[in-house]
Structure 1
Amino acid sequence: MRTLAAAALALCGAGHAQDTRTVREPTLPPACAVLLPEPALPGRDDAPRIQAAIDKCKPGHALHLAAQGDKRAFTAGPLTLRSGVTLVVDAGATLFASTDPALFDRGRNTCGTIDAAGTGCRPFITGDGISGAGIMGDGSIDGQGGQRIDGKPETWWQIARRAQKEKLRQNVPRLIQLERSQEFTMYRITLRNAANFHVAMNRVDGFTAWGIRIDTPHDARNTDGIDPGSSRNVTIAHSHIRTGDDNVAIKAGHNGPSENISILHNRFYSGHGMSIGSETNGGVHNVLVEDLDMDGTTSGLRIKSNDRRGGVVKGIVYRNVCLRNVQWPLYIDTNYVPAPPGDLIPDYQEVRMERVHSLTPGRNVILQGYDEKRPLRLTLDDVVVDGSPVMKIEFAHLAGQVNPPGAKGIDCSKRLVPFPDDAARVAKQGDELLLPK
């Protein structure tokens, strides 16, 4: 059984915290029931029978969705998870979100439209006020964001793009939403094609994602991978994420801080990078990003906010990071999406980068504090950006520098590997899943 806490603490040192839990590789709970696919019929909704099985499952057990021969698909409207119950999608099976907006509508008949609010759809899978639940398995959950919505000429993603052009908001369902919950675990599952965020959390204490994949096209708008919001004790480990927006975005709004977060041994591909923000007014504290590879993201290590949603970001450590073909390898910005000024000032303190190497220069490197009273305070140790990067440094107190004399950067030659396909991911030796490190 692999554990992360001891290694992380040894690397991080007493001066910088991260997830305060001892996080071990999860295991699947014993099964309470197994559901098999039913014949495909137009408009089929498997949600009632899946939900009934979840509701009957005893805490500490798991409901399995399993393939049978050439029957591999479940299609459902919204599902609600229960405390202590794990939903397992077995290898070969896929749980599809329905394309019927009426199933997700919150009662205003706006799901599948655009308006000024963008709150018309329920998530596909919700966990609210629960403890000890999870989503696991070697199968996949598919949000069908690229499929045409029932009764409409557009896909969920096309609605999102139209909302962007018309400066409005899309009413589309998130894939997984966690609210006010504790000790939620995701293990080995593949998430695909979310209509909106893949995993969003708010006021969660204790979240583990281990060995999961998120696989969605690079041009699918607002399809963030994992977004811890106002949450604490979060570990995301040994996972592979390619998507159309932030691969991971740590946020903290009016519901309080995000703190004690570990992002360990992960690989990011298309997406907007390893982000903090843009909502930071609740405070983001004590984050460790260790052993991260980013290949083809737009931004790399990014902290983004402005004076309408800014706050204190403090105790952030990036260590042992490789980047390639990233447009902005280092991007720390206090004027993200300029607009009329506000009074929620971004304040970035105690940020540290160690052993960071970008093999390509990108467009530029941005290291920007807010003003002379609230400068970026950043320590740089063996940080190398190859080529001749354009540097934009403003209101920044730097200890060390990018590309110090004689520095060659850490060796990234064997680390940047392709996104693992299904066959490589589920290769097993005994009962242990083999995952690239």
Structure 2
Amino acid sequence: MKKNWLAVLFCSGFISANAQYSWGNLPKVEEPVFKTDTFSILNYGGKSDGYTLNTRAISAAIIDCSRQGGGVVMIPAGLWLSGPIEMRSNVNLHLASGALLTFTTDKTKYPLVEGFYEGKRAARNQSPISGTGLTNIAITGKGVIDGNGDAWRAVGKSALTENEWKEKIRSGGVLKDDGKEWYPSEQFKQAKVENKSMLLVPGKELKDFEEMKDFLRPNLVVFTQCNKVLLEGVTLQNSAAWCIHPLMCENLILRDLLVKNPAYAQNGDGADIESCKFFLVEGCTFDVGDDAICIKSGKDEEGRKRGMPTQYGIVRNNLVYKAHGGFVIGSEMSGGANNIFVYDCNFMGTDKGLRFKSTRGRGGVVEKIYARNIYMKDIEQEAIFFDMYYFVKFATDGERNESPVVNEGTPIFRDMHFEKIVCNGAKKGIFIRGLPEMPVQNIRFTDCILTAEIGAELVDVDRIAFDMQELNPTKTDPVISINNGTNVRFGGLIFPSAFKTILKVTGERSKDIDMSHMGITKDSERIVITDGAPATAVLMD
């Protein structure tokens, strides 16, 4: 008698019975509303000649607008140079079509401020655009915001063409002693080579970081503890570090943005949404030097103490070109993440597609993540990727620390559903590597079609369901390999008949791998059980 597959999934935990949101009940995000009063920066002495600093003009218009109850601060068409500017409540900073707002390369114009670096308090140069504790703010229009990031960033020789490298050297700066990396200044070089910390730990004040100021690259747009935030229509490009960093915000909308950074931009993320709730990212295009759309919530103990998960989010109708991941969670996710819906997105040429990363020490729970209708092409590495060993250097023999210790620093990734994920071209279709003491658990794949050199590789997983999955490996046998996996169920699997091995199971902890729905008999040579895995690990007809 055949089992009711949906009932099996529900009873074994593959379907959450108490999810706060569902596809039929998506989170609602409130949008800011502004008065129509307009304050042109021309009326405050603004000059679009490309060399006059307009910091005072833009700031005065923003302050005046906010004091009079809010409205629109207009930046007309033209080339506008500015130092860092601070937003105020009830202000919509609007860049008209043809407006190019570029930020000065004079680093003395950027005061040192208390900010955050990868979830921890740190000294930073003030961001070109920032705001803290504001309500009802926006950056809109069809103009361009350029952070002049090349003046701030290091770059490796291998990331540039020969002519680009020669041009970079001619621009000034200094080289690493081995000649393989370019730095914008000697101060930057010393901070990088000596691995100086930017963290604001007890006993450290901002003035203590003056000697490494050049090293403290600012994010382009940073909004902290703000409510009702809208970024719409503009191009944000060439940031010194991350492009968009909303931190501890509520009711956040990123809509119809073009976010660009050079492929060689170190830490050149598109949008890092950290400890925010009720957010929407839609209709945006990303082409960046690091993760494109990234979910974060603080790092290690500091993130756990903050205790603010990123939650109740929608990510839809976005296009990602170059990036280290199309949609990403981690690795700074110590406050957790939940109830996030990702759908109708295209990833083309990214390093990875859907990317989830963490490591021991982070802690945090990432759960109730749902993705469907994600279409990928020419992914350089994995289409779907989970790794709980992010930035861990393994021993030279390749063995991992198998210590089964669970504590507050143990990250948990669970309860996710991936539906109609299609990829044509990748190194691996699926890679999941959990921890021996905390497997990646309760992940369901439905109607996915993945064409990659390698089908799927699962390590330290529990309760993984493949429901009508089509894996088309093009090079490597087996179609699927499982090491120390438990409760892995195949409700349907389509694969190339030419491959000798469907499934290879290893590891003494492997058990309850159910292929009874596949019509494969126990004497099949297409199932290989080896390297310590029990002979009873795979259930077959």
TM-score, normalization: structure 1? 0.79
1-side partners of 2:37 and 2:89: how far apart? Answer: 15
| Map of 1:124 onto structure 2 | 128
| Map of 1:73 onto structure 2 | 79
Q: Is the 8 A contact 2:113 2:126 kept in 1?
A: no
Q: Does 1:329 align with 2:383?
A: yes
**Consecutive unaligned residues in structure 1, runs of 5 or more:** 1-11, 109-116, 409-437
Percentage of matched positions with identical amino acids: 24
2-side partners of 1:45 and 1:322: how far apart? Answer: 44
Q: 1:20 aligns with which of 19, 27, 30?
A: 27
Q: Name the CA shift for 1:167/1:352 in 2 (closer, same or farther; >3 Å).
A: farther
Q: Is the 8 A contact 2:48 2:80 kept in 1?
A: no
| Range 207-216 or range 31-40, more displaced | 31-40
Q: Does 1:97 align with 2:103?
A: yes
Q: Does 1:276 align with 2:329?
A: yes
1-side partners of 2:123 and 2:172: how far apart? Answer: 19
Amino acid at match of 2:241: N
Q: CA deviation at 1:21?
A: 1.8
Q: Does 1:286 align with 2:292?
A: no
Q: Is the 8 A contact 1:176 1:200 kept in 2?
A: yes
Q: Name the CA shift for 1:209/1:41 in 2 (closer, same or farther; >3 Å).
A: closer
Q: Is the 8 A contact 2:416 2:442 kept in 1?
A: yes
| Map of 2:62 onto structure 1 | 54
TM-score, normalization: structure 2? 0.65
Q: 2:150 aligns with which of 141, 146, 163?
A: 146
Structure 1 or 2, whichever has the larger Rg, is 2
Q: Secondary structure at the match of 2:57?
A: helix
Q: Secondary structure at the match of 1:133?
A: strand
Q: CA deviation at 1:407?
A: 7.8
Q: Does 1:257 align with 2:309?
A: yes
Q: CA deviation at 1:308?
A: 1.8
Q: Name the CA shift for 1:38/1:322 in 2 (closer, same or farther; >3 Å).
A: same
| Map of 1:4 onto structure 2 | none
2-side partners of 1:166 and 1:359: how far apart? Answer: 43
Q: CA deviation at 1:277?
A: 0.6
Summarize deviations over 1:128-173 as a string: whole Å, max 9, x none: 0000101001001000112479x97279x94599677765563111
Q: CA deviation at 1:192?
A: 0.9
Q: Is the 8 A contact 1:78 1:104 kept in 2?
A: yes
Q: How does 1:199-348 map to 2 (within 5 A)?
A: 199-253=244-298, 254=303, 255=306, 256-273=308-325, 274-326=327-379, 327-338=381-392, 343-348=408-413
2-side partners of 1:237 and 1:98: how far apart? Answer: 30
2-side partners of 1:153 and 1:118: how far apart? Answer: 25
Q: Does 1:82 align with 2:134?
A: no
Amino acid at match of 1:50: I
1-side partners of 2:76 and 2:133: how far apart? Answer: 27
Q: Root-mean-square deviation (CA), in Å?
A: 3.1
Amino acid at match of 2:56: P
Q: How does 1:398-417 map to 2 (within 5 A)?
A: 398-400=464-466, 401=469, 403=471, 405-406=493-494
Q: 1:357 aligns with which of 403, 417, 422?
A: 422
2-side partners of 1:355 and 1:230: how far apart? Answer: 28
| Map of 2:41 onto structure 1 | 35
Q: CA deviation at 1:298?
A: 0.7
Q: CA deviation at 1:17?
A: 8.7
1-side partners of 2:146 and 2:415: how far apart? Answer: 39
Amino acid at match of 1:261: G
Q: Does 1:187 align with 2:193?
A: no
| Map of 2:118 onto structure 1 | none
Q: Secondary structure at the match of 1:354?
A: strand
Amino acid at match of 2:374: V
Q: Is the 8 A contact 2:410 2:438 kept in 1?
A: no
2-side partners of 1:19 and 1:60: how far apart? Answer: 31
Q: Name the CA shift for 1:13/1:229 in 2 (closer, same or farther; >3 Å).
A: closer
Q: Name the CA shift for 1:55/1:380 in 2 (closer, same or farther; >3 Å).
A: same
